[in-house]
């Protein structure tokens, strides 16, 4: 699990360096809350 988390951090860093906004959600996350996060990211908040 630690290797996966490190890989995710490395990938996130690389994507951010390329100008991407990284949003990560998991199957146990509340889908309504996830939509709110995406909406705020798209609107630039």
Range of the domain at 22: 2-43
- Tally the domains of the chain: 1
pLDDT at 15: 98
Per-residue pLDDT, averaged over 31-42, amounts to 97
Give the DSSP letter of residue 44: T
* pLDDT of 45 over the 80 cut: no
pLDDT at 1: 86
Distance in angstroms between the alpha carbons of the first and the last residue of the chain: 31
* pLDDT of 16 over the 90 cut: yes
pTM across the whole model: 0.72
The rounded distance, in Å, linking the Cα atoms of 29 and 37 is 11
What secondary structure does DSSP assign to 5-37, as a single string?
A: HHHHHHHHHHHHHTTPPP----TTS-HHHHHHH
Q: What pLDDT band is residue 33 in, cutting at 50, 70 and 90?
A: very high
pLDDT at 18: 98
């Amino acid at each position: 699990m630690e290797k996966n988390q490190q890989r995710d951090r490395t990938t996130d860093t690389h994507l951010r360096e390329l100008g991407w906004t990284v949003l990560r959600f998991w199957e146990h996350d509340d889908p309504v809350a996830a939509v709110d996060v995406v909406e705020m990211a798209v609107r630039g908040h």
